[in-house]
Structure 1
Amino acid sequence: MRVVLPATWRADLMAGAVVAVLLIPQSLAYAMLAGLPPQVGLYASLLPLLAYAALGSSPVLGLGPVAVLALMIAQALGQLPPEVGPVAGALVLAAEVGGVLALAALLRLDALASLLSVPALRGFETGATLMIAAGQLPVLLGSRAAGFTLPDLIASAPQGGWRPVSAAWGAVAVLLLMGARRLPSRTLARLAPLLLLVAAMVVSAFTPAAQGVAQVGALPTLALPLGLPMLDPAVWWQLLPSAALVGLMGFVSSLAVSESLAQRRGEKLSPAAEMRGLAAANLAAALSGGMPVAGSFSRSILLHEAGSRSRWSLVFVAVFMGGAMLMLAGPLAHLPKPVLAATILVAVLGGFSLRPYREAWAYARAEGLLMVAVTVAVLGWSIAAALAIGVVGSVALLIQRTAQPHVARIGRVPGTQHYRNVERYAVECMPEVVGLRVDESLVFTNARGLADAVLARVREHRERVGEPRRVLMLMAPVNHIDVSGLTALQDLHHTLAAEGLRLEFSEVKGPVLDRLKAVGWLEKHDVSLYLSHHDGIQAGEHALRPSLADHDAPGQL
């Protein structure tokens, strides 16, 4: 069977070569960060990329081992009994992540990405970044201190000790990597981690400079180990909650990366296809000796900047990774661990910034607090607790924001047919009609508060303008009315009727109007409908009267 390459294969080939250079050291480093042998990271960078290329939709998603998932994987594998090896556990975890995502894709649950709000996601990623950096310091210093949270790490530090020679290797590596970031050539800057690893292996193998420094050690022959993961039900059951969290985090972060780049490139992205592609990639990792994988922001940006035009670039990345496997088995044994730790440290801290916290605090303090809470939970509690806080906090803030529908009293901007909030604009109001604007969909979370919100605005109108006979509700912002919302409208109609007021609608959207007509709601309750709010206002007979707005000049809508 002949393989036909696309017309863009040259651009994809170049992009694949560039990203493979970055993926080689990251695959090794993130596997060891997860507590796995370095070759597992290489295995996770072969067949999973081909699986995603077949089923995914983004031409620039840099798939493979990622730092945040590596930390989650390490915590999950740390809970297994000693008789279950970390490699066997990683294969089970990858299979479960793939299975969870495949089931979610089958049930069309790609909307699960919305469970984790942007503040929660950023708080989690920042906390994981800091924890990863803190966790690499003992390796950098030659210390035996270890832990998945800051309290554990600090508690083990006095017994861990440190080795000056390891610290020297690590410090030099960090300085070289930081200096490489300032190089005028972007190509050299990207090659720096790989060149450093090669140089460290050469120096370690042929000079006594690395004596007393921990090294990666001898690796088995790098041959792709195809086969099924272990089928112990107890292990599968124990890892299932962690797999669900890893799957959720992997999908949310990958989708965020691919969607942002798709918007930048003017391309369309299918969240359902992204979920299928990520599921296939993790299942492929489970069958080929790998670890759970997801999209990397740094590699995705690199694919985009290197000119990737299609998912064939991932195929070429896998080809280059396969070639690297054939050449790395021997040299990797001499790689000093402090140098590998330095590449992780510099890579993860390169994107660290406090700016998202400042922006979130200035814009919405509740979301800023959620971001901080998730970060603190990652550092001081656990990954699972942090994700739970992020999801629950995001949902709680949503419910809190929508528990009371926002209903604005509106009047006409003089000399126009535009209607704005009386509290923000100098407008004119007609005594006989209360103009209201409902600013959100009417659903079960806010329906109970509709009548109270409307009656409060009616009382304001009576006190400031005059005695009304009609309540005209501008419904343009309402995108959906569920059964709870419909019941709330019926209760509102009865409440207004008891006060001698007639309920009327203007500018109802087509899908909402279709549902109301399907049950004959407008006819049943004798509710008038106007094509525009201005038409509804003009249906009255009295002249406009200036409102008692507190502002003399137009404000913001």
Structure 2
Amino acid sequence: MRFNVDRWRGYGQGAFHDDLVAAFVVSVLLIPQSLAYALLAGLPPQAGLYASLLPLVAYAALGSSPAMGVGPVAVIALMVAQAIGDAPAGTTPHAAALVLAAEAGLMLALAGWLRLDALAALLSVPVLHGFETGAALSILLSQLPVLAGASAHGSNLPQVLQSWIGTQTPWVPLTALYGGVALAALWLSRRHAMRLLARWLSPRRAALLARLAPLVVLMLAMAVAAATNAGARGVELVGALPELAWGAVLPPLDPALWRAMLPSAALIALVTFVSSLVVAESLARRQGVRISPRRELAGLAAANLAAAVSAGMPVAGSFTRSVVNLDAGARTRMAGVFTAVLMGVAMWLLAEPLAVLPTAVLAATIIVAILAMFDWRPFGAAWRYDRVEGLLMAVVAALTLLAGVAWALGVGVAASIALLLRRTARPHVALIGRVPDTEHYRNVGRHDVQLIPGVVGMRIDESLLFVNARQLSDVVLQQLGRYPDTRRVVLLMSPVNRIDFSGLVALHALHDALAARDVRLDLSEVKGPVLDALHGGGWTRWFTGRVYLSHHQAMEDPRGSPDLR
């Protein structure tokens, strides 16, 4: 108990003030973002607000990042919008979203318990960037009808175009005016507010006030809409928010609904973990702290389960909100707790003013945020480095825009696995020789090296696993075709980190194939864990060659030396 008292006393004297200031800044920005992302997901506006309360506290209890801001995010909102379309008839969008949050939370918790944080590797950089770019384009397109006041809707290009073309009212002039003015004001403030404020304020204060520009735009829009009775003039408004409900709200326990949402929930859980881990690790590098992927799984699981029982929606780590949190001075996860408290107070005080906010203004906030996400340079860089990966990035982006998230991620993950298998299905075995006057051995195709008659040295450049082990004998024997007088083959094993059972069987087959030719197989520089695994597999019963500490020793001793096994 003494330790806890001292710890909290130290916190109150140190980080408390910084966390509280950061929470105030983030909570002010979180209100319009929460409303906008709920709108994007096709949910009631209050779902975004509720998702910004208990989930923050839950992440603070179990997560590991001191500064990551958890809550509704654009990409997850888009995935929710697409998943809701798979819900059984008669299911409300909000009920489907609660089930998605519950299932995603349970899957993240199960992944943490099973230590499956390596699942993040399923989304390679080309797939992740292609998905983010395609999702940004889809979000942008989905908000254009809202900005113009049209009744069209959709979460991908064909849906938006088909709905927009078929609508009787493609735009409402007054609504479009609100949206256009808000879009221009938000864009100009993003580009120039910091520079203008820096003329009179310190850089730190100027940066903080510049980040409040979206709130100023929303407040002005609400004031103008209330003064002109915009709702009566045909402008779509957010509408009255329900009273703040503190009681638990469980998701519906309909088995058909849970089965229908399960595939989408699995994708949401995967994207939530990967994208949030990227955010947490990027912030950790700036702060000089360490992130625990397993604790991130636990924190995100708790946050989504909290959203599911508090009338929210699926949540993830937000890069923009996290950067604002860090720049505003947040030092611990208590900043998230303070943000939740301040958000609750704001919902209580601002529920009536928010009712007159035009939805076109919310769409403008999303569009400006999305425009800042676009980065086309990785497409060119990937194409120049590896055209297959560059093409994969473009295909994933196009599928996200044209077909939806499930198709894009499914094809992206499958293509990444296929590329990995193609590159590892045939082990790379290099014929090596001695660099003159040294003890170093290099590829004979790249260097001027010396060879020893009757002794062939080869280097295996990857682990021997089930994906490539079957090809080992063919690759080695193909090399031996150039040296018919070979009496001994020495495999340099230093790059090999693991040999699974398939690799052990392949090594046995190679040993026997060489023995049939009266050629002895020796190994050099075998790593300790690999050698332990070979011993555990009982290889001493059939292996008749020798294991050397160094490759140079093996090559210079063609008659054999004391067995070092």
Shared fold, TM over 0.5: yes
Residue equivalent to 1:277: 299
Deviations 1:351-403 (CA, angstroms, capped at 9, x unpaired): 11111211111122222222112111111112211121122111111111111
Structural mapping, 1:3-14, within 5 Å: 4=8, 6=11, 7-14=14-21
- Among candidates 164, 176, 186, match of residue 185 of structure 2: 176
SS at match of 1:420: strand
- Find the counterpart in structure 2 of residue 488 from structure 1: 506
* Equivalent-residue separation in structure 2 for 1:158 and 1:173 (angstroms): 25
Note the C-alpha offset of 1:459: 2.7
Q: How does 1:63-212 map to 2 (within 5 A)?
A: 63-81=70-88, 83-160=90-167, 161-182=170-191, 183=193, 184=195, 185-207=206-228, 211-212=233-234
* Mapped partners of 1:91, 1:257: distance in 2: 24
Within-5 A mapping of 1:286-297: 286-297=308-319
The AA in structure 1 aligned to 2:485 is: E
SS state at 2:253 partner: coil
The aligned residue for residue 203 of structure 2 is none
Report the AA paired with residue 124 of structure 1.
F
Q: Separation in 2 of the partners of 1:300 and 1:435? A: 53
Q: Residue in 2 aligned with 1:504?
A: 522
Give yes or no for the alignment of 1:397 onto 2:419. Answer: yes
- Give CA deviations for 1:314-365 in whole Å, capped at 9, x if unaligned: 1122122122111221011110111110000010120111112111111222
SS of aligned partner of 1:28: helix
Question: Are the counterparts in 2 of residues 73 and 90 from structure 1 also a CA contact under 8 Å?
Answer: yes
Give the counterpart of 1:354 among 360, 376, 392.
376
Relative distance call for 1:302 and 1:538 in structure 2 (3 A) is farther
Q: In the alignment, which residue of structure 2 is the partner of 1:549?
A: none
* Counterpart in the other structure of 2:532: 514
Percent identity over the alignment is 58
Distance between the aligned counterparts of 1:527 and 1:198, measured in 2? 80
Residue 458 of structure 1 is matched in structure 2 by: 480
Q: TM-score, normalised by structure 2?
A: 0.91
> How far off is 1:82 after superposition?
5.0
2:265 alignment partner in structure 1: 243
For 1:319 and 1:35, the matched residues in 2 are separated by 26
SS at match of 1:140: helix
For 1:158 and 1:54, the matched residues in 2 are separated by: 48
Distance 1:428 1:151, change over 3 A: same
2:556 is the counterpart of 1:533? no
Q: Which residue of 1 aligns with 2:198?
A: none
| TM-score, with length taken from structure 1 | 0.92
Q: Does 1:48 align with 2:55?
A: yes
Cα distance in structure 1, aligned partners of 2:323 and 2:156: 30
* RMSD of aligned residue pairs (Cα, Å): 2.0
CA distance, structure 1, for counterparts of residue 29 and residue 385 of structure 2: 36
- Please name the residue that 2:335 is paired with: 313
Q: In the alignment, what sits opposite 1:29?
A: 36
In structure 2, what residue type is equivalent to 1:166? T
Counterpart of 1:439 in structure 2: which amino acid? Answer: D
For residue 492 of structure 1, what is the amino acid of its counterpart?
A: L
CA distance in 1, matches of 2:335, 2:354: 26
Q: Which stretches in structure 2 are left out of the alignment for 5+ residues?
A: 196-205, 560-565
Deviation at 1:158, TM superposition (A): 2.2
Gaps of 5+ in 1: 542-557
- CA offset at residue 41 of structure 1? 0.7
Q: Quick check: 173-182 or 216-225, which moved more?
A: 216-225
- Please give the alpha-carbon distance, in whole angstroms, between the structure 2 residues aligned to 1:133 and 1:50: 31
CA separation of 1:536/1:261 partners in 2, compared to 1, >3 Å: closer, same or farther? farther
Contact 1:39-1:222 at 8 Å conserved across structures:
no
SS of corresponding position for 2:481 = helix
Query: Whole-Å Cα distance in 2 between the matches of residues 472 and 11 of structure 1?
Result: 62
Deviation at 1:508, TM superposition (A): 0.8
Q: What is the distance in 1 between the residues matched to 2:295 and 2:75?
A: 23
Deviates more, 1:64-73 or 1:365-374: 365-374
Output the CA distance in 1 between the equivalents of 2:411 and 2:266.
15
Answer whether contact 1:522 1:528 (CA < 8 A) is retained: no
- When residues 143 and 187 of structure 1 are mapped into structure 2, their CA distance, relative to the original with a 3 A threshold, is same
C-alpha separation between the residues in 2 aligned to 1:213 and 1:231? 37
More deviation, 429-438/78-87: 78-87
Distance, in Å, in 1 between the alignment partners of 2:407 and 2:123 is 13
Aligned residues: 538
Cα offset, 1:177, TM superposition: 1.3
**Alpha-carbon contact 1:225-1:289 (below 8 Å) kept:** no
CA separation in 2, counterparts of 1:523 and 1:350? 64
The answer to whether the 8 Å contact 1:474/1:507 transfers is: yes
SS at match of 1:319: helix
- Residues 189 and 420 (structure 1), Cα distance of their counterparts in 2 relative to 1, 3 Å cut: farther
CA distance in 2, matches of 1:382, 1:496: 53
Match of 1:551 in 2: none
2: CA distance, partners of 1:22 / 1:408: 57
Give 1:208 deviation, angstroms.
5.0
